[in-house]
Amino acid sequence: MNKGRFGEFGGRYISELLVPVLEELETAFEKVKEDKEFKNKLDYYLSKYAGRPTPLYFAENLSKKLGIKIYLKREDLLHTGAHKINNTIGQVLLARTMGKKRVIAETGAGQHGVATATAAALFGLECDVYMGKEDAERQKLNVYRMKLLGANVNIVDAGSRTLKDAINEALRDYATNFKDTHYVLGSALGPYPYPSIVKYFQSVIGIEARTQILEAEQCLPDYLVACVGGGSNAIGLFAQFLDDNTKMIGVEAGGKGISTGKHAARISGDGQKGVLHGSLSYILQDNGQIRETHSVSAGLDYPAIGPEHAYLHELKRAQYVSVTDSEALEAFHLLAETEGIIPALESAHAIAYLPKLAKQNKNKIIIVNLSGRGDKDVEHVAKIEGANL
């Protein structure tokens, strides 16, 4: 593999201004990977502050119902309610070793913004979050939450006023202020070395899960299942199993159905190869214009997929599928009722694929990454279902 490439995917399609900045970042990242003191500090905060290791829970009721053995990797139990904190603690610590005083981040629904603001508060760095105007209006509570944590929220009133416009603004800020600023990118996306940095910090999921399943079953799982927005929770789980026979399934947002065009299924839908935010991957576009995407879950609603997933798809090492909004909503209820766990709508996409998988795989062992908890989505789901709040 060429440096910074996953097969032909990935790379660094960015303005000249950012080349030395990303090279500095790459050097710092390579250094901390070998640094015992950094690793100890990271482990300390992941364990004492964020709540690692997360349990690998055997979901007995759901398993019985579907006729497969389902283990849930409980990232939903982490501080701030999702896997994103693994990456933001890691990157903010990295920023500190680089002597940066300020971090910036993009956010869609606000989950990554909150996780970055949390880590910035913890480690005493200034924090600016970029958020599309439309997203900020839809997610007022998360805007306030970031402010509570001491971050500035910068509303982006350009383009479609959503996540991709927020990333554009964050990259612009980074190119101007890199001397004292680190850009905490939220998923395994963007120009090299970001996909590798985010994968590294999320790999703790798979490292733990591998040990835990060997302890529980004395063998590796038959399948891994994870939802795929940018692809960080999925690659964090998959990474430790790439050399084994375990099959891997990434679940994309099928939205209102692939044929309607209203979805975010880049690989399993009608994405094509292209460049977005500094990286070559599968993206949703029409004649070179980035398409509007749709999903009931904001965290999966992005027009590109992380480059390593594009590569795993081409190698046929992982399989990418989609489930629709309504299938995800059904799974939201299914997990709540069978296990007493309300999943994030993103994670509900992974759950929604299980009944399909179970049809041809009786008694197989499956690890599902439960990337986040659903408290943030309860009001949204209630509204969709017409509940009178």
Ligand X SMILES: *Cc1c(COP(=O)(O)O)cnc(C)c1O
106 is catalytic: yes
Q: Does residue number 184 form part of the binding site for ligand X (CB under 6 A)?
A: no
Q: Which of 299, 303, 307, 355 binds ligand X (CB under 6 A)?
A: 299
Q: Is 110 in the site for ligand X (CB under 6 A)?
A: no
Of 54, 232, 240, 285, the one binding ligand X (CB under 6 A) is: 232
**By the rule CB under 6 A, 233 interacts with ligand X:** yes
**Distance between CA atoms of 250 and 205, rounded to whole angstroms?**
15
Report if residue 84 touches ligand X, rule: CB under 6 A. Answer: yes
Contact between 162 and ligand X per CB under 6 A:
no
Site string for ligand X, 332-351 (x = CB under 6 A): ------------x-xx----
Does 247 sit near ligand X (CB under 6 A)?
no
Nearer to ligand X, 119 or 228 (CB): 228
Q: Applying CB under 6 A, does 255 fall inside the site for ligand X?
A: no
The least distance separating ligand X from the CB of residue 77, rounded to whole angstroms, comes to 12
Query: 14 to 53, contacts with ligand X by CB under 6 A?
Result: none
Contacting range for ligand X; rule: CB under 6 A; set: 65-73, 93-101, 163-171, 225-233 = 225-233
In the complex, minimum distance from the CB of residue 34 to ligand X, in angstroms, rounded to a whole number: 26
The catalytic position among 106, 169, 252, 308 is 106
Using CB atoms, what's the residue nearest to ligand X?
Answer: 372
Q: Are 199 and 226 in contact (CB under 8 A)?
A: no
147 counts as catalytic: no
Whether 297 is catalytic is: no
Q: Which residues are catalytic?
A: 84, 106, 371
